[in-house]
């Protein structure tokens, strides 16, 4: 497993996410993920499976020192009265004293970014998380968050896949010293079905899905993958034994289209043009 080093942290480049997984699915797949070599796990308060992930990791005997755990604070907890308490609840569910990375899940449209960042800084100072970051911020918000934060921000976790041009965000994050974490890398199932990615995969003896993950990893991003099926876990992590050529990388970049964004919920998502 490769690492991404950012702001003094070494983050396993490929993480296992549990978005949209039931507690039963989490219980079934996490042992397989650990056996395959995953050590970076990503959840969130709103996923309602932090407790299932905590139980599964503990039940499998995973050593805490070997794990990199990420969770996210939901927007309804962006208040001084609720933020720290919600994080404490997340830690209890995950069976840990602190997470490795705590993110603001969405910027939303009701609490200023500066206030969100202040609360994030406070829980880090209290020892509830090793590192902090954001998710789903636009470039303007990211620059403001970095400027306002007393501690370095590790990452901005955003939608990233071949059909969405994130070049402007990549440049902004690089200028801020912030890594990008890619979610929705399969573009809601479009990547595994893509003829070009299937063709490239055939050249390397890989699936289109593996090509999509490799394309993200090869750009230096932290990447999240997921499956609820234990039998498919090994395929998800088998992306470090091949490389895409410059021509293949460019061809995949060319799949981007103006309507490529998939995830943009009203009231949560920012203006992506800023």
Read off the pLDDT of residues 185-232 as tens digits, 9 standing for 90 and up: 999 999 999 999 999 999 999 999 999 999 999 999 999 999 999 999
Residues 47, 163, 183, 184: which is the catalytic one? Answer: 47
Check whether 8 has a pLDDT greater than 90: no
Pairing of strands 14-17, 179-183: unpaired
Kindly list the distances between the CA atom of residue 45 and the CA atoms of 51, 105, 108, 265, in Å, as whole numbers in the listed order.
10, 9, 15, 17
Per DSSP, 71 falls in state E
Summarize pLDDT for 115-167 with one digit per residue, the tens. Answer: 999 999 999 999 999 999 999 999 999 999 999 999 999 999 999 999 999 99
Pairing of strands 153-159, 179-183: parallel
State CA 154 to chain mean position distance: 11
Give the pLDDT score at 159: 98
Of the candidates 83, 125, 88, 89, the one whose C-alpha atom is nearest the C-alpha of residue 104 is 83
Residue 1's pLDDT band, with cuts at 50, 70 and 90, is: confident
All domains in the chain, ordered by first residue: 3-188+220-228 (3.20.20.100)
Helix%, strand%, coil% for the chain, nearest 5: 45, 20, 35
Do 149 and 120 form a contact (C-beta atoms < 8 A)?
yes
Of the candidates 217, 269, 226, 272, the one whose C-alpha atom is nearest the C-alpha of residue 107 is 269
Mean residue pLDDT of the chain comes to: 97
- Residue 221 annotated as lining a ligand binding site: no
Give the pLDDT score at 51: 97
Summarize pLDDT for 41-74 with one digit per residue, the tens. Answer: 999 999 999 999 999 999 999 999 999 999 999 9
Of the candidates 9, 38, 64, the one whose C-alpha atom is nearest the C-alpha of residue 240 is 38
Residues 6+ apart with CB under 8 A from 111: 75, 78, 79
Per DSSP, 238 falls in state -
Catalytic, 47? Answer: yes
Summarize pLDDT for 243-263 with one digit per residue, the tens. Answer: 999 999 999 999 999 999 999
The distance between the two most distant Cα atoms of the chain, rounded to a whole number of Å, is 55
End-to-end distance of the chain based on CA atoms, in angstroms? 35
């Amino acid at each position: 497993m490769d690492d991404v080093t950012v702001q003094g942290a070494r983050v396993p480049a490929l993480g296992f996410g549990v978005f949209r997984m039931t507690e039963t699915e989490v219980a079934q797949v996490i042992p397989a993920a650990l056996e395959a070599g995953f050590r970076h796990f990503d959840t969130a308060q709103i996923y309602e499976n932090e407790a299932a992930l905590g139980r599964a990791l503990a039940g499998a005997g995973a050593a805490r020192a070997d794990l990199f755990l990420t969770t996210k604070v939901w927007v309804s907890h962006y208040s001084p009265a609720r933020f720290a308490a919600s994080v404490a609840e997340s830690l209890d569910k995950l069976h840990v004293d602190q997470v490795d990375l705590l993110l603001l899940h969405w910027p939303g449209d009701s609490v200023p970014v500066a206030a969100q960042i202040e609360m994030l800084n406070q829980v880090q100072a209290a020892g509830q998380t090793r590192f902090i970051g954001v998710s789903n911020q636009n470039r303007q918000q990211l620059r403001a968050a970095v400027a306002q934060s007393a501690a370095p921000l590790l990452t901005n976790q955003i939608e990233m896949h071949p059909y969405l041009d994130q070049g402007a965000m990549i440049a902004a994050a690089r200028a801020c010293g912030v890594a990008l974490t890619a979610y929705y890398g399969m573009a809601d199932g479009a990547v595994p079905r893509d003829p070009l990615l299937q063709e490239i995969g055939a050249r390397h003896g890989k699936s289109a899905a593996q090509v999509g993950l490799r394309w993200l990893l090869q750009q230096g991003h932290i990447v999240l993958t997921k499956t609820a099926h234990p039998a498919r876990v090994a395929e998800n992590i088998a992306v470090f034994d091949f490389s895409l050529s410059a021509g293949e990388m460019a061809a995949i970049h060319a799949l981007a289209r103006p309507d490529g964004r998939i995830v943009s919920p009203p009231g949560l998502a920012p203006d992506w043009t800023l």
